[in-house]
Structure 1
Amino acid sequence: MAIDEETSRGFLREMLRIRAFEDEIKTRFQEGEIPGFVHLDYGHEGTHVGMSQAMRDDDWLAVGGARLVGQYVAKGVPLGEVMAELYGKRGGSNKGYGGQMHVSDVDRKLYGHAATIGSGQNPAVGLAFAEEMKGTDNVAVTTIGDGGTSRGSFHTALVFASYWDLPVVFVIENNQWAISTPSSALSPDNLSDYGIPHKMPNESIDGSDVERVYETVSEAIERARNGEGPSVVESRVARLGPHFEGDKQTYRDETEFEEERALKDPVENYRERLLADGVVTEEELDDMLEAIHEEVQEAVEFARDSPDPDPETAYENVYRTPLYGQGEGS
């Protein structure tokens, strides 16, 4: 698949945008502005940009795993809305209910993460089924980490997608670590092999190569769009940061970790590649980064200025109001 220079520059810009945004998230978290935990995408940017650029706006993305911010950004959620959600503010895409792990945006066909890891694949199958019933050719792409594939719900989703021959693409982001458990503890040599018993096309690729991801996911989406059913893609990446900010990673070999940071950084590798090929110049990169920096800072200001949720909203969107019988009998 030939990729023109304009598309290549777009890939680079989106990866730089995710990286700069997450650098700022990391700083804001360390400064105490962002509550809770954050799990950043370092090393996953090529996968997130490659797969999202293979999708149409009307295709669903059902996110999974822990490294999700890049997926939100790549699917088109404005940076300000993502940042406000991390701040727990009303200006967030979920009005502050979701936080970093649970951003959703139905209007942009982003189906948010459920409460447990590895549970987004059955909803993706349902979304694909709904699109098929409506007579569209829209596709559902769903992501999961290597650790999440150990859950039975993932395999149930494969069964139903195969049985109904649904337009779903399963993307397994294998970053080699399920928190602190190495993916080598899993039985298949290639996690894409999970598709074999269901007779699904399956492929394992270098997920740090944005163009390779784009090509592979594009082919899988095209098959699904043409009525040829689901596929499984294993995107192998390196987790270039801790599981969460604050994780000391005592379970990782420090030398191997530093080698991965030097060799498997999708952003830096693609930047150097496009510079060497003359696709971009240093001046163009400087202009690109300046514009991205301004956008990121605007997102921070939007989050800071967004109001906190009213306390009574804690009782909205629950099955029973009042939740614990407050005020009953008064």
Structure 2
Amino acid sequence: MTVDEDTSKELLWEMLRIQEFEDEIKSRFQAGDLPGFVHLDRGHEGNHAGMGLAMGDDDWLAVGGARLVGQYVAKGVPLGEIMAELYGKSTGSNKGYGGQMHVSNVERKLYGHAATIGSGQNPAVGLALAEDVKGTDNVAVTTIGDGGTSRGSFHTALVFAAYWNLPVVFVIENNQWAISTPSSDLAPDHLSDYGIPHKMHNESIDGSDVEAVYESVSGAIERARNGDGPSVIECNVVRLGPHFEGDKESYRDPEELEVAKEEKDPVKNHRERLLESGVVTEQEIEDRLETIREEVEESVDFAKNSDDPKPEDAYKNVYRLPLYGQEE
């Protein structure tokens, strides 16, 4: 597959949109506006944009790992709904219950992240099974971090997907750090090797190259649509920011991080590539950034002006009522 110029530009626009939105999230968090923690995507933008553009509207995305905002954006959740969720407002995509780590949107085929890392793959396999039973050609794509592949639930999902030859794509985002533990401590040479015993298509790619991600995930989705079963793709990226905002990162070599910021920034590299090849101009980029920044500003205004959840809303969605044996 060769990525055409229009697609290359769309990939750049989506990465810029993710980056600008997250820069604003960081500012709002530092200002004390947002409750809880935020985990931002710096270094993952290419993986999220490439993966998102490869998917169809009716394909499921079951998100995992900690770097999730870019995945929500790539799956089409409006920025206002995401920002309102981060603010804990009733207009958020999950009405303020979820926060940054737990956005979901069933209407847009986004299956949200559960409370434990590495727990999204079995639901993804279930979604793929459901689509297969219904006779659709829809595919489930599911993401997980390098650390999450150490959980048994991930490997259970591989077994089930392979046995039933299901239309599911496992995307491993290897950003070199499972919080503060280096992924180099894991046994496989490539984390995609976990697919080998199950005879799955597997490949390890440069996840900071947005076009490489788009091509690889597109190919895996096409194989799944055609009945050729699941794939495991390891997308090697570099986490260019802290694990969470406030993480001192004392476990990282500062010099190595600076080199990575220069060499493995997916947004900067793709932008420079398109400028050098004449696919885009600086003016086009500035015009698009102006539009994106307006959208981001609107998302903040929407969140700030939205209602807080009512105190009694805390009791909703806790139990299904009436409970067993109770009357209406």
Map of 2:194 onto structure 1? 194
> What are the Cα deviations for residues 24-75 of structure 1, in whole angstroms up to 9, with x where unaligned?
0000000000110000000000000101111100000000000000000000
- Say yes or no: does 1:36 pair with 2:36: yes
- Which digits, 9 at most, give the CA deviation of each residue in 1:264-284, with x for residues without a partner? 000000000000000000111
TM-score (norm 2): 0.97
Q: RMSD over aligned Cα, in angstroms?
A: 1.1
Structure 1 counterpart of 2:36, one-letter code: G
Task: Tell me what 1:326 maps to.
Answer: none
Aligned to 2:279: 279
Q: Which amino acid aligns with 1:128?
A: A
1:218-254 CA-to-partner distances (Å, cap 9, x unmatched) read 1111110000100000000000000000000000001
Conservation of the 8 A alpha-carbon contact between 1:169 and 1:233: yes
User: How far 1:319 sits from its partner (Å)?
Assistant: 1.9
1:40-119 aligned within 5 A = 40-119=40-119
User: Offset of 1:171 from its aligned partner?
Assistant: 0.1
Distance between the aligned counterparts of 2:251 and 2:57, measured in 1? Answer: 40
Which letter maps to 2:130?
Answer: A
**Dislocated runs of 4+, deviation >3 Å:** 320-323
In structure 1, C-alpha distance between the alignment counterparts of 2:162 and 2:319, rounded to whole Å: 34
CA distance in 1, matches of 2:292, 2:123: 33
**Which residues in structure 2 correspond to 1:154-303 (within 5 Å)?**
154-303=154-303
Whole-angstrom distance in 1 between the partners of 2:94 and 2:30: 23
Structure 1 counterpart SS, 2:216 = helix
Q: Give the TM-score, by structure 1 length.
A: 0.97
Give the number of aligned pairs.
Answer: 323
Q: SS of the counterpart of 2:129?
A: helix
How many angstroms does 1:23 deviate by?
0.3
Once the two structures are aligned, what percentage of the paired residues are identical?
78
Q: How far apart, in 1, do the equivalents of 2:90 and 2:182 lie?
A: 38
CA contact (8 A) 2:66 2:101 kept: yes
Q: Residue 328 of structure 1 aligns with which residue?
A: none
Q: Once the two structures are superposed, what CA deviation does each residue of 1:163-199 show, in whole Å capped at 9, x if it has no partner?
A: 0000000000000000000001100010000000000
Asked if the contact 1:44/1:237 (under 8 Å) is kept, the reply is yes
| 3-state SS in 1 of match to 2:242 | coil
Whole-angstrom distance in 2 between the partners of 1:44 and 1:322? 44
Inter-partner Cα distance in structure 1 for 2:183 and 2:109: 30
User: Any stretches of 5+ residues in structure 1 without a counterpart?
Assistant: 324-330
Counterpart of 1:327 in structure 2 is none
Distance (whole Å) between structure 2 residues aligned to residue 97 and residue 191 of structure 1 = 33
Deviation at 1:22, TM superposition (A): 0.2
C-alpha deviations, 1:257-300, integer Å up to 9, x for none? 11101110000000000000000001111101000100000000
CA contact (8 A) 1:315 1:321 kept: no
